[in-house]
Amino acid sequence: MKSNSQPIKLFLVVAFSCTSLLVSLIPVLAKPTLGSSLSDAYGGLRLRSHPKTTLAQATIFNQPTLPPGPPPGGRVRGGAKRGPGCELTKLDLTALVPFTQEANSVINVWGQTTEERPSWFFYVPYTKDYPYAVEFVLQDQDSNEIYQKAIALPDKPGVIRVSLPSTAPALAVDKQYHWFFTINCDKEENSPPTFVQGVIQRVELNPATVKELQTTEPLKRYAIYAQNGIWYEALTILAQLRQKNPQDAALQAEWRNLLSSIRLDDIAAEPILSDKP
């Protein structure tokens, strides 16, 4: 029996070691990281995450504190009213931007950007079939108008993008700007328009973060911006990725997570209609 016992023990030891190694590798192989490819567009292997894994790794948007000085105020939803104004819709005109509600019910709509000429996103419930006049206006902190643009209503309700063009003045660092998105539904202008409004401020990131942003792929850039409280770039990058990969379940989950983090869950399922500057 002695001649047989040693080979059997050796076999059991080797088998146990291999099994332990395989078990230790399974979590590593099964757990996609934020920098991993979530879509063929990023190159390499396509990872199909289980929904629980996606939620467990969802990027957190770190909403910054309000800037010093008077509160920015604002309006994140523009509800239509009965009468000669805008037709009632299932969802209101909505600005895709963070907001806080104070104890006195005052709403503050405020977000940061690092771009000289950022983009804004709005959910628009009306289509080009309505004869409504739509306008986007940007003012400096002294209420001087620095940009104004008439906006064409889309073919169907959904999220549209409005970008500051190269012909418009660049946003200055550490300055606050007021933006307004207005839909005037009454040709006679006897009724007030439906509108949303808020404040945007351009800030600068530290050099190490800027360098990292320059050398990483889009999904990781999105995470860096979100973690640093830079709303406008985080939203723009994620919207662009979703448009390029509309069937990507991981990106859809990330979009829902981002909008849910600012309490706009109801807008998360609406289509993104345009990615044109």
Residue 106, pLDDT score: 82
Residue 69, pLDDT score: 85
Looking at the structure, tell me whether residues 135 and 195 fall in a common domain. Answer: yes
Q: Is residue 68 part of a domain?
A: no
pTM score: 0.78
Q: How confident is the model at residue 82 (pLDDT cuts 50, 70, 90)?
A: low
Looking at the structure, tell me whether residues 216 and 84 fall in a common domain. Answer: yes
Q: 36: domain range?
A: 2-55
pLDDT of residue 85 exceeding 50: yes
Looking at the structure, tell me whether residues 47 and 164 fall in a common domain. Answer: no
Looking at the structure, tell me whether residues 217 and 250 fall in a common domain. Answer: yes
Looking at the structure, tell me whether residues 84 and 28 fall in a common domain. Answer: no
Q: Is residue 63 part of a domain?
A: no
Looking at the structure, tell me whether residues 167 and 39 fall in a common domain. Answer: no
Q: Is residue 187 part of a domain?
A: yes
Looking at the structure, tell me whether residues 226 and 260 fall in a common domain. Answer: yes
Q: Is residue 228 part of a domain?
A: yes
Number of structural domains, the chain?
A: 2
Looking at the structure, tell me whether residues 227 and 100 fall in a common domain. Answer: yes
Residue 241 neighbours by CB under 8 Å, 6+ apart? 39, 41, 218, 219, 222, 248, 251
Residue 3, pLDDT score: 45
Looking at the structure, tell me whether residues 149 and 36 fall in a common domain. Answer: no
pLDDT, mean over the chain: 81
Looking at the structure, tell me whether residues 116 and 210 fall in a common domain. Answer: yes
In SS3 terms, the chain reads as CHHHHHHHHHHHHHHHHHHHHHHHHHHHHHCCCCCCCCCHHHCCCCCCCCHHHHHHCCCCCCCCCCCCCCCCCCECEECCCCCCCCCCCCCCEEECCCEEECCCCCEEEEEEECCCCCEEEEEECCCCCCCCEEEEEEECCCCCEEEEEECCCCCCCEEEEEECCCCCCCCCECCEEEEEEEEECCCCCCCCCEEEEEEEEECCCCHHHHHHHHCCCHHHHHHHHHHCCCHHHHHHHHHHHHHHCCCCHHHHHHHHHHHHHCCCHHHCCCCECCCCC
Q: Is residue 235 part of a domain?
A: yes
Separation CA 24–CA 5 (nearest Å): 29
Looking at the structure, tell me whether residues 15 and 128 fall in a common domain. Answer: no
CB atoms near residue 241 (< 10 Å) = 23
Residue 215 tokens, joined: 């050398």
Q: Is residue 199 part of a domain?
A: yes
Are 168 and 148 spatial neighbours (Cβ–Cβ below 8 Å)? no
Q: Is residue 9 part of a domain?
A: yes
What pLDDT, in 10s, does the model give residues 26-78? 333 333 333 333 333 333 223 333 333 333 356 889 999 988 888 899 999 99
CATH number at residue 113: 2.60.40.10
Are 241 and 129 spatial neighbours (Cβ–Cβ below 8 Å)? no
Looking at the structure, tell me whether residues 153 and 221 fall in a common domain. Answer: yes
pLDDT of residue 277 exceeding 70: no
Q: Is residue 193 part of a domain?
A: yes
According to DSSP, the residues that pair with 176 across neighbouring strands are 201
Q: How confident is the model at residue 245 (pLDDT cuts 50, 70, 90)?
A: very high
Residue 192, pLDDT score: 83
In our burial notation (b when 16+ CB lie closer than 10 A, e otherwise), range 2-25 reads eeeeeeeeeeeeeeeeeeeeeeee
State the number of CA atoms in the 13 A half-sphere of 232 facing the CB. Answer: 22
Q: How confident is the model at residue 249 (pLDDT cuts 50, 70, 90)?
A: very high
